[in-house]
Chains A and B, each alone.
Chain A
Amino acid sequence: MGRTILVEDGVQGYVDRLSNTGQWHLGLIIGQLTSQRDYGVQLIRTPEPAEDEVSEEEEDEILNTPKRKRRRSSHKPDSLENIDEQWVATHAKQVTRMLPGGLDVIGIFALAKPQMLTRSQAKLRQILFSIRKIHDKGQIVHDEDAVADRYLLQICSATRKLTCRTIDVSDPKSTFRPGEWKCQTSPEPWIELRCQITTDLKITVPLGAQNHSLLKQILGGLRPYCHTLWNALATVNGEMRPEADSLDQSSGGRKTRSGKDRGTSQQQCYTISLFSQSTNNKHEVSICDKSARIWLRGQTHSRAYVPGRSSVGDAVKALKTDVIRSLVSRCELLCEDIEVVDEVKDKNLYDSPIRVFGQLPGSTVNFCDYMFQDEKIDEVLERIQELLDVTITEDDLQRDCERVATQDDWPKPKPKPKVEPGADTPVTAMTAVRVYLGAFLGGMAAVLAGVSYMYMGDS
Chain B
Amino acid sequence: MAITVHKQVVQHLQEACQTSKLTTGFLIGLENDDGGFTVAACAKCTLSNKEAVQSVLQLAGGLSICGIFYSSDKKVTEEGCNEAINSRKYNLFLEKLETDDFVVCNIQTGSQTITENNFFLYSDMISPVRVDVIIADEDDKFLSQNVILRTQCSLPLSFTYEAGGWKENLESEITDLSQKIMSSHTVYHLQTSSVILCQEKIIGIPEGKANEFVSQDLYNCLQSEDIGRNKKRRGKHNFEDTLHLGLYMQIDGEDSSGMPLCAPIVQHKTETFQVVEITLPLDVVTVVSPQMPIGKLSERVSSCIVKQLDAMKDCICKYHQGKQFFIPESYQFKPFGLGALLNVVYPHGITETDLQPQRKKLHETLCLSLERPSFKRANVYRFPEDRLGESYLINPHVGLNPSGVKSGKVHLVQGQYTYHHYMQDRFDDNKWGCAYRSLQTLVSWFRLQGYTDKPVPSHREIQQALVDVGDKESNFVGSRKWIGSMEVSYCLDHLIGITSRIMTVNTGGELSTKGRELALHFETQGSPIMIGGGVLAHTILGVDYSEVTGDIKFLILDPHYTGGEDLKVIQDKGWCGWKGPDFWDKTAHYNLCMPQRPNVF
Contacts and interface: CB of A to CB of B under 8 A. Distances in A.
Q: Decide if A and B are genuine partners.
A: yes
B165 A235 contact: no
B172 A197 contact: no
A292 B248 contact: no
Given A196-B252, A204-B275, A288-B274, A351 B265 contact: yes
Interface in A30-49: none
B548 interface: no
A420 B259 contact: no
B172 A274 contact: no
Interface stretch (A21-29, A70-78, A113-121, A297-305): A297-305
Nearest to A234: B252
Contacts of A240: 189, 194-196, 203-204
Contact of A348 (B154, B204, B269, B273): B269
B274 A289 contact: yes
B252 A290 contact: no
Contact of B267 (A273, A348, A353, A404): A348
A418 interface: yes
A299 B201 CA distance: 23
A276 B266 contact: no
Interface residues of A, number: 85
A459 interface: yes
A285 interface: yes
A200 interface: yes
Contact of A280 (B156, B162, B254, B261): B156
Given A238-B203, A285-B278, A290-B273, A410 B156 contact: no
B512 interface: no
Interface string A441-458: 000000111111111101
A420 B164 contact: yes
B327 A284 contact: yes
Interface stretch (B95-103, B124-132, B173-181): B173-181
Contacts of A352: 263-266
A330 to B, nearest CB: 7
B194 A275 contact: no
B276 interface: yes
Given A275-B248, A290-B274, A404 B196 contact: no
Contacts of B474: none
A406 interface: yes
A141 interface: no
Given A297-B260, A402-B263, A409-B260, A290 B275 contact: yes
A250 interface: no
Interface in B268-304: 268-279, 281
A294 interface: yes
A299 B279 contact: no
B260 A299 contact: yes
Residue of A207, A286, A454 with highest tally of chain B CB at under 10 A = A286
B204 A273 contact: no
Given A272-B252, A418-B168, A349 B265 contact: yes
Given A233-B189, A286-B276, A331 B248 contact: no
Contact of B276 (A238, A285, A294): A285
A68 interface: no
Given A238-B203, A278-B155, A294 B267 contact: yes
A155 interface: no
A44 B323 CA distance: 58
A299 B263 contact: yes
Contacts of B276: 285-287
A406 B262 contact: yes
A144 interface: no
Given A281-B279, A285-B325, A286-B276, A449 B265 contact: no
A156 B252 CA distance: 48
Interface residues of B, number: 63
B266 A218 contact: yes
Contacts of A291: 270-272
Contacts, number: 230
A210 B162 CA distance: 20
B246 A297 contact: no
B520 interface: no
A204 B158 contact: yes
B253 A404 contact: no
Interface string A135-156: 0000000000000000000000
Contacts of A437: none
B243 interface: no
A412 to B, nearest CB: 10
Contacts of B154: 278, 280-281, 283
A451 B276 CA distance: 16
A6 B169 CA distance: 57
A82 to B, nearest CB: 41
A352 B267 CA distance: 10
B250 A405 contact: no
Contact of A287 (B179, B281, B323): B323
Contacts of B263: 298-300, 330, 351-355, 402-405
B258 interface: yes
A162 interface: no
A257 interface: no
B268 A350 contact: yes
B179 A450 contact: yes
Residue of B161, B187, B275 with highest tally of chain A CB at under 10 A = B275
Nearest to A207: B272
Contacts of B46: none
A387 interface: no
Given A204-B158, A273-B253, A284-B327, A292 B268 contact: yes
A199 B264 contact: yes
Interface string A261-280: 00000000000111111101
B156 A296 contact: no
Given A198-B256, A285-B325, A276 B265 contact: no
A348 B176 CA distance: 24
A332 to B, nearest CB: 12
A196 B176 contact: no
Residue of B277, B327, B348 with highest tally of chain A CB at under 10 A = B277
Interface string A334-364: 1000000000000011111111000000000
B272 A289 contact: yes
Interface in B142-176: 153-156, 158, 160-162, 164-165, 168-169, 172-173, 175-176
B259 A214 contact: no
Contacts of A274: 250-252
B381 interface: no
Contacts of B260: 297-299, 405, 408-410
B350 interface: no
A57 interface: no
Nearest to B195: A240
Contacts of B323: 287
A76 B203 CA distance: 57
Interface in B177-204: 179, 187, 189, 194-196, 201, 203-204
Contacts of A277: 153, 246-249
A110 to B, nearest CB: 38
Given A281-B279, A284-B279, A292 B270 contact: yes
17 contacts: A229-B251, A232-B251, A233-B248, A272-B252, A274-B251, A275-B250, A284-B279, A288-B275, A290-B275, A297-B259, A299-B259, A299-B262, A350-B268, A352-B265, A408-B260, A420-B165, A456-B267
Interface of A: 195-200, 204, 207, 210, 214, 217-218, 229, 232-233, 235, 238-242, 272-278, 280-300, 327, 330-331, 334, 348-355, 402-406, 408-411, 417-418, 420, 447-456, 458-459
Given A282-B279, A410-B260, 20 more contacts: A198-B259, A214-B268, A275-B249, A280-B156, A285-B326, A288-B275, A290-B274, A291-B270, A296-B267, A298-B261, A348-B269, A351-B266, A352-B265, A403-B261, A404-B263, A409-B265, A411-B267, A450-B172, A452-B172, A453-B169
Q: What are the 5 A-B residue pairs with the smallest beta carbon separation, nearest first?
A: A298-B264, A275-B248, A409-B260, A450-B176, A405-B262
